[in-house]
């Protein structure tokens, strides 16, 4: 007996008249004769033709939606529309039954909200099969992109004592019995008795540790899970998500922007090359979804067009100050259509402002630089004007900010001064400051939220639908 062949390979096969073994899950079984079989290698099913007159009736009853089966048969040209080949079954074995009365994924349209409740089974739908195959391609492409450019893949800690962003929205890590937490005489938690002997949390970013690696290895990147304890029930936020964070010694802001733009174009190109069928399916899904929206809310481009648009255009580069001038004079701002009006310099840009710049004003991806220092983190290099920092954000259509980064402050005295101004404890970050004491140099880096990238490439509207098991307030199922 020949070895199992994946359905994607069979559908692409030029050979017919050969015996094959195919295994998968039944999507539909009609007329007691035609099985639509899928094994997750592609959204396309292969048709298995059953000789029902010569098949045990008890076996036919077990060929239900969701059942796992193994088929031995002949690969033959298909007479039906939609596929070149089909499998004429010689023998069928049911590997795992599926009770049609209880199986929740019957062949009909299901809402994304319902599928989130059965996230352990949603991989079996066309939409989520496509999303997670694209996610796989993007993850692999990230490693290939950096590896090909001589970067070192660095694993930064998941349990850390630092809050890199200074936001304070962290998940605490402890092995204390929560019913009897030891306290000091002044009533504070006595961390000396805790597992690590100090307060620790799940990481919000691997950046600070990544900088340590870059100051010896030149070019490093991290790709791992990060955690934010924000109580945000939105389509844009998760409590657990994945981040790609490269750090490069001897880079300035210009080098940083060039690398980020090159990386984004590379990732989109890889997805279009390796997942054409999946993206075509997701593009059609998005088009159907858009038809339900009022005309003014619909995207001007299809998903495929939007991806190609990012590949074909050089990203528009401008300063935060220039962006504020454009937004202040924009029609939506003058007509008070923005939810958050742009009053003037110092405004923290919202997603609606970012999308206006990309989709309406420039009609191409945008890189904003040189933000006011008061709305950015302590580690960003200060400009000579005393007001702005060497920060950059990359803005994409439909999603707003997709990458945030900066040239890092390499001057010890400037960094310490900024930490004092922002109340960042220097004694806790002595190790970080050491990189400025011993052989400091110009360096830069950025962070890409992986789920934001997957969301952009798949066209999914909710970030909870591009990670296998989403974590958000009041939800940690599966």
Q: How confident is the model at residue 1, as a pLDDT?
A: 47
45, pLDDT greater than 60: yes
User: Tell me: the pLDDT tens digits for 1-17?
Assistant: 469 999 999 999 989 99
DSSP string computed for 141-181: HHHHHHHHTT-EE----SEES--TTS-----EE--S-TTS-
Which residues contact residue 330 at a Cβ distance below 8 angstroms, ignoring those fewer than 6 apart?
Answer: 342, 356, 360, 361
Assess if residue 327 is contained within a domain. yes
User: Tell me: the pLDDT tens digits for 111-155?
Assistant: 999 999 999 999 999 999 999 999 999 999 999 999 999 999 999
Same domain membership, residue 298 and residue 208: yes
Q: What is the mean pLDDT of residues 60-84?
A: 93
Same domain membership, residue 134 and residue 81: no
Here the CATH number for the domain that contains residue 347 is 3.30.930.10
Assess if residue 177 is contained within a domain. no
Same domain membership, residue 143 and residue 100: no
Same domain membership, residue 243 and residue 384: yes
* 8 A C-beta contact, residue 48 and residue 34: yes
Same domain membership, residue 403 and residue 335: yes
This prediction has a pTM of 0.94
Assess if residue 390 is contained within a domain. yes
* 8 A C-beta contact, residue 380 and residue 408: yes
Q: Where are the beta strands (DSSP E) in 41-189?
A: 46-49, 68-77, 85-96, 152-153, 159-160, 172-173
* 8 A C-beta contact, residue 43 and residue 27: no
Assess if residue 21 is contained within a domain. yes
Which residues contact residue 425 at a Cβ distance below 8 angstroms, ignoring those fewer than 6 apart?
Answer: 419
Same domain membership, residue 347 and residue 257: yes
311, pLDDT greater than 50: yes
- The average confidence (pLDDT) of the chain is 94
User: Tell me: the pLDDT tens digits for 333-365?
Assistant: 999 999 999 999 999 999 899 999 998 999 999
CB neighbour burial string for 102-122, b if at least 16 within 10 angstroms, e if fewer: eeebeeeeeebeebbeebeeb
DSSP string computed for 231-270: ---SSS--SEEEEEEEEEET--HHHHHHHHHHHHHHHHHH
Q: What is the mean pLDDT of residues 419-448?
A: 95
Same domain membership, residue 256 and residue 151: yes
Same domain membership, residue 143 and residue 72: no
Structural domain of residue 75, as residue ranges? 7-107
Query: What does the alpha-carbon distance between residue 194 and residue 179 come to, in Å, rounded to a whole number?
Result: 14
Same domain membership, residue 130 and residue 44: no
Q: pLDDT-based confidence at 297, cuts 50/70/90?
A: confident
Q: pLDDT-based confidence at 164, cuts 50/70/90?
A: low
Q: pLDDT-based confidence at 304, cuts 50/70/90?
A: very high
Assess if residue 98 is contained within a domain. yes
Q: How confident is the model at residue 397, as a pLDDT?
A: 87
Q: How confident is the model at residue 454, as a pLDDT?
A: 98
User: Tell me: the pLDDT tens digits for 214-258?
Assistant: 999 999 999 999 999 988 888 888 999 999 999 999 999 999 999
Same domain membership, residue 312 and residue 224: yes
Assess if residue 135 is contained within a domain. yes
Here the CATH number for the domain that contains residue 69 is 2.40.50.140
Query: What does the alpha-carbon distance between residue 46 and residue 232 come to, in Å, rounded to a whole number?
Result: 42
Structural domains in the chain (count): 2
Q: How confident is the model at residue 292, as a pLDDT?
A: 86
Q: How confident is the model at residue 235, as a pLDDT?
A: 83
């Amino acid at each position: 007996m020949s070895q199992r062949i994946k359905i994607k390979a069979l559908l692409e096969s030029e050979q017919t008249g050969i015996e094959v073994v195919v295994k998968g899950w039944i999507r539909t079984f009609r007329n007691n004769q035609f099985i639509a079989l899928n094994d997750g290698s592609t959204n396309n099913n292969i048709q298995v033709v059953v000789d029902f007159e010569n098949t045990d009736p008890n076996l036919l009853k077990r060929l239900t939606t969701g059942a796992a089966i193994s088929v031995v048969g002949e690969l033959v040209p298909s007479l039906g529309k939609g596929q070149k080949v089909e499998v004429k079954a010689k023998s069928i074995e049911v590997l795992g039954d599926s009770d049609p009365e209880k199986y929740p994924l019957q062949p009909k349209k299901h809402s994304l909200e319902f599928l989130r409740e059965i996230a352990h089974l949603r991989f079996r739908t066309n939409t989520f099969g496509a999303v997670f195959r694209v996610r796989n391609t993007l993850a692999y492409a990230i490693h290939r992109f950096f590896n090909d450019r001589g970067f070192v893949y660095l694993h930064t800690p998941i349990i850390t004592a630092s809050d890199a962003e200074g936001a304070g929205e962290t998940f605490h890590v402890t092995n204390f019995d929560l019913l009897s937490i030891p306290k000091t005489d002044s009533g504070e938690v006595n961390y000396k008795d805790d597992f690590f002997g100090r307060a620790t949390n799940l990481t919000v970013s691997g950046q600070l540790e990544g900088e340590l690696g870059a100051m010896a290895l030149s070019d490093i990147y991290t790709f791992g899970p990060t955690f934010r304890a924000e109580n945000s029930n939105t389509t844009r936020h998760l409590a657990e998500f994945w981040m790609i964070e490269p750090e490069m010694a001897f880079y300035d802001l210009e080098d940083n922007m060039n690398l980020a733009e090159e990386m984004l174009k590379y990732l989109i190109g890889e997805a279009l090359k390796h997942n054409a069928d999946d993206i075509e399916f997701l593009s059609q899904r998005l088009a159907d979804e858009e038809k339900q929206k009022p005309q003014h809310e619909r995207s001007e481009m299809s998903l495929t067009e939007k991806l190609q648009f990012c590949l074909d255009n050089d990203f528009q580069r401008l300063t935060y100050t220039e962006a504020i001038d454009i937004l202040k004079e924009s029609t939506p701002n003058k007509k008070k259509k923005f939810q958050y009006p742009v009053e003037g310099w110092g405004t923290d840009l919202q997603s609606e402002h970012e999308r206006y710049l990309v989709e309406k004003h420039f009609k191409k991806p945008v890189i904003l630089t040189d933000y006011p220092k008061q709305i950015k983190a302590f580690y960003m290099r200060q400009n000579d004007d005393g007001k702005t920092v060497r920060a950059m954000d990359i803005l994409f259509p439909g999603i707003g900010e997709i990458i945030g980064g900066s040239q890092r402050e390499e001057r010890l005295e400037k960094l310490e001064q900024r930490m004092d101004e922002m109340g960042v404890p220097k004694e806790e970050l002595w190790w970080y400051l050491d990189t400025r004491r011993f052989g400091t140099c110009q360096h830069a880096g950025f962070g890409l939220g992986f789920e934001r990238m997957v969301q952009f490439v798949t066209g999914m509207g909710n970030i909870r639908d591009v990670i296998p098991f989403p974590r958000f307030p009041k939800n940690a199922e599966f």
